[in-house]
Amino acid sequence: MKQLLRSPLTLAIALVNASLATHAMAQNDAQNPPKSKPVLEEIVVTATKRETNLMDTPIAITVMTEEVLMQQGIANVKDIDKLVPNMDITIDSSQSAPVISMRGVRSTNITELGDPAVGLHLDGIYSPRPQGAMALMFDVERVEAQRGPQGTLFGRNSTVGNINIITKRPDTQELAGSLGVELGNFNHRQVRGMINVPVTDTFALRGSFMLEERDSYLNGYYDPNQWDTRYLSEDIRNAPLYTGAEEDKSLIQRARWWDGGADGVQELVKADEADFYNNSDQYSFRLAGQWEPSEDFSWYVAYERFQDDSAGSADTIDCDKAALRVRTDEDGNYLDASGNLSATPVPGSDGCERIYGPGADSYTVNVSVPGEQDLNIQNVRSNLRWDFSDAMAFVYNAGWARQTRTQMSDQDRGITDWDMSIFFREATFVSHSHELQLQSTDAGPLQWVTGLFFFEENNDMQGGWMNSMASADYWNQSDRTLASQAVFAQGTYDITERLHLTAGYRYTRDTKEDVGGHNMSCNDSNPNLLAPELNGGVCFPSWDRETFNNLPQDYFWNKGIYTSVTNNDIKGEWDYHNYRLGLDYDLSDDTMIFAYVANGTKSGGIGDVVVQYEQDPTTTEYPLDENGERIVKKRWGNTYEPEEVITYETGVKTDLLDHSLRLSATVFYSDYSDMQVATAKPLFVTYSFERDGETGEETGEISADPFTVFQTDNIGKAEIKGVEIEFDWALTENDRLNGYVSYLDTKIVSDFYQQWTHATVDLFEIEHADSVDPENTALTTNLKGNELPSSPKYSLNINYSHTFDLHRGATLVPWVNVSWKDKSYYSIFNSEKHEELFASETPDAFSDTRESVTNLNLGIKYTAASDNWSLEAFCNNATDETEFYWGGGGDGVIKGPVSMPRFYGVRANYRF
């Protein structure tokens, strides 16, 4: 396999040979047809912005119908990754957002500063915020997942692919409706419904909805021993004193030195699963209208609203990795699981039970800040089409979206005695887009589409980070904007009846700007101008737990108490050109081969501005330093360049065995330049001049401290190559087998020197201050040769179902789905490749390796003879695998979002 993938030429030759062999098989099948074979129905897609047969569309694309989504228990985009080759989705708990990766490429900057690497579209309209992928999918016609650059037609940040969710449209032909109910363990309840009403012969309305509630699958506790107890109820705050054994205490109970110390240790309080982290409490509805006054004109308009009132999600500890760590005391002596001295290392002595107590596992979590989430997404989508002549049509797609998020979540989760939390306060993102197209509609040799695209987004980000013992930070970014304009054209010309040439081009100009944004701080050196009586006149009562917990719950949500640290005024502009050039050839009526070269671009971006001070003898703006030199303030604006990829891809699509077997295979090679990677990066950041303690006058000395910023960098070059094979086989009239197998090889191929930021304290066994010192050259590492994150080398997915024909036309269909993904990495650091750098005796305990995982889903469905109702039993994750979607280091453990345990239930559907 590795030899096969060494050059695009080799890939092309190998695939053409495979295509010719496939063509020969098809001819043989035609000469010797089987006695009885079912025929797979045609699938229509809109991947080229016109309706085409899936098997005639020369790109790699996976299509999922609503029936498939419901069978697999998929309610939003974040759960479809197992159905799409070389696709992987992780979760960022702090931002309530998925991180979507295709073919090894992703974007971990999911703040208002970042852009996704995989474009998300709703009915062909671009959705900019990654949180939009969390919205419920219901009453869906199909989901199309396209792989490879889609820059010419879909534009915005589709360097590696895009996902298009196509909803069902109103139908003027008949009154129809449906109702579905799903019940499962963890007190799961889901209801979905639809009604279609023909108002006239030319106008119809369609209303649909979905709501879901489910208890948390975490083993959660509230901990009144932690520093911040302002959000806990009085009953929890006044929990009884702990009376158990010393060795059964949690880490916080043992470490508790404040307010009574060991004499004040309280019991943990079991959380109510109904409103704890990782529960579900969400609904969505859509009202749509379709007007078709003639065969030449149609207008579809839809309003959709999504509301998530859950507690949000919480990261938990990877207990398997924690069990690899050997526990020691302050002098380096080995300890056993009970904390007693041991002559030899004791693996497993420093696992989850040391942190959370006896019986703790990867679903255990202790918090002092209850989760709160109020995520509201509203959007209006309009699709208008006018076939104004026999040869051309005008299409106008418009969209408006508003996302508002208020969120609060515990960030330390009792893993350390540093009590931390994060909050967002009505963070608002408003966007609108317009796309105007002209399309050819005749049967001539040239089929084309051209158009204009306009997009704007206005963001108001209000949120902050709490270090409950010492300080708080606030992000006041009330006017961050993005504007994008593009012009595009793509056409396919029939050189001969069988040979077709496709060419496309797009010019884009992006502008990003921050006006009046500030990073702000609140600590014991800042005066409290709004309410000095609350805490002795200072903004933050550092190390004073009693005063801190007497502050109102919303005290730190008021930006007026903070002092500005930076002025983030910054602007960036970029323009870029995307192209596509491809050939496809029909070997027969049932077999096509194709090859193309295309590039894609992910927009450049802006970041927070960092303020630094330097000596400059030519200025009089600032005072003299101790050496008699003038000091001047420098503003360092974090901007980064666009990411570009050139992809070479060749493939084959064929229908075999009298159209009972559908096969697609692609081989691709992608060359990335200026690849964007977002990481936490240490810097020296200067906040202010130091002042004389007696006079209060500036001393001329600068207060400079290490500071970590979340920053996007251009890392240089990376190469990605792989193979994707998809199949759908109707084995008999009653047996169906489909799925995929894929291979992926990713590598950073240029020098990329980066300061180590994954589990640095634990791997290097250094103090925190040293781990964030930007001048600590011992941490500088060349990541050349590393693999890209979320890039399992091999993966496969297999689905099998058998239909039992029962009395009078009823059916019983058992089905099984097996998916497997090879190991990959959580980060670009690939820690197992750099173990010579580490001081830790157990580096595997802090590894960023994501282990391979096998997932089994199964069910059985009964459909009545009338075909208007069905009943299904299902079980997802039947083998009860524990999978971490992502893992970050720090505080002596690896932690991240964990998969749901075994989930089972029944669903019933009725339609009329």
Three-state DSSP at 37 gives: coil
Tens digit of pLDDT for each residue in 446-458?
Answer: 999 999 999 999 9
Output the six-digit token pair for 299.
């207008």
**Higher per-residue pLDDT: 77 or 481:** 481
Please provide residue 642's backbone torsions phi and psi, each rounded to the nearest 5 degrees: -60, 150
- pLDDT (0 to 100) of residue 37: 62
Chain centroid to Cα 206, Å, comes to: 30
Q: Which helix (H) or strand (E) holds 768?
A: helix 768-771
pLDDT at 234 over 60: yes
Mean pLDDT is lowest, of 164-168, 472-476, 614-618, 662-666, for 614-618
pLDDT at 191 over 90: yes
The mean pLDDT value for 709-719 works out to 79
Strongest mean pLDDT among 36-50, 527-541, 738-752: 738-752
pLDDT at 331 over 50: yes
pLDDT at 116 over 80: no
Tens digit of pLDDT for each residue in 361-392?
Answer: 999 999 999 999 999 999 999 999 999 999 99
The Cα 64–Cα 562 span in angstroms is: 49
Mean pLDDT is lowest, of 85-89, 157-161, 400-404, 465-469, for 157-161
Supply the DSSP string of 836-864, one letter for each residue.
Answer: GG---S-GGGG--EE--EEEEEEEEEEE-
| Sign of the CA dihedral running 881, 886, 890, 891 | negative
Please provide residue 775's backbone torsions phi and psi, each rounded to the nearest 5 degrees: -100, 10
pLDDT band at 158 (very low <50, low <70, confident <90, very high): confident
The owner of tokens 């282990």 is 851
pLDDT at 642 over 60: yes
Tens digit of pLDDT for each residue in 694-706?
Answer: 555 555 555 555 5
Mean pLDDT is lowest, of 12-21, 393-402, 642-651, 769-778, for 12-21
Tens digit of pLDDT for each residue in 784-796?
Answer: 999 999 999 999 9
DSSP state of 156: T
**For the chain, percent of residues with pLDDT exceeding 90:** 57
Output the six-digit token pair for 496.
């001969």
The Cα 422–Cα 461 span in angstroms is: 13
pLDDT band at 211 (very low <50, low <70, confident <90, very high): very high
Q: Which residues of 447-459 are buried (b: 16+ CB within 10 A; e: fewer)?
A: bbbbbebebbbbb
pLDDT at 1 over 90: no
The Cα 630–Cα 649 span in angstroms is: 59
Report the predicted TM-score, pTM, of the whole model to 2 decimal places: 0.88
pLDDT at 230 over 80: yes
Kindly tell me the number of DSSP H helices and DSSP E strands found in the chain.
Answer: 9, 50
Cβ contact 607:639 at 8 Å: yes
pLDDT at 123 over 50: yes
pLDDT at 503 over 60: yes
**Higher per-residue pLDDT: 636 or 91:** 91
Count of C-beta atoms within a 10 Å radius of residue 784: 15
Question: CB-hemisphere CA count at 13 Å for 506?
Answer: 30
The Cα 93–Cα 90 span in angstroms is: 10
Q: Residue 260: CB partners within 8 Å, gap ≥ 6?
A: none
The Cα 275–Cα 282 span in angstroms is: 12
| Pairing relationship of beta strands 718-730 and 735-748 according to DSSP bridges | antiparallel
pLDDT at 115 over 90: no
- pLDDT (0 to 100) of residue 38: 81
Q: Residue 591: CB partners within 8 Å, gap ≥ 6?
A: 19, 22, 23, 26, 652, 653, 654, 655
The mean pLDDT value for 62-70 works out to 88
- pLDDT (0 to 100) of residue 705: 57
**Higher per-residue pLDDT: 88 or 901:** 901
The Cα 88–Cα 110 span in angstroms is: 16
| Pairing relationship of beta strands 219-222 and 364-367 according to DSSP bridges | parallel
- pLDDT (0 to 100) of residue 93: 75
The Cα 250–Cα 245 span in angstroms is: 11
**Higher per-residue pLDDT: 649 or 39:** 649
Output the six-digit token pair for 713.
């960098």
The Cα 407–Cα 310 span in angstroms is: 10
- pLDDT (0 to 100) of residue 884: 93
- pLDDT (0 to 100) of residue 703: 57
Cα dihedral 564, 565, 568, 569 in deg (nearest 10)? 60
Output the six-digit token pair for 468.
């409950």
Q: In whole numbers, what is the pLDDT of the chain averaged over residues?
A: 86
The residues that bridge with 508 in the sheet, in sequence order, are 486, 576
Q: Residue 63: CB partners within 8 Å, gap ≥ 6?
A: 43, 45, 54, 142, 143, 144, 145
pLDDT at 15 over 50: no
- pLDDT (0 to 100) of residue 303: 97
The mean pLDDT value for 322-334 works out to 77
- pLDDT (0 to 100) of residue 743: 97
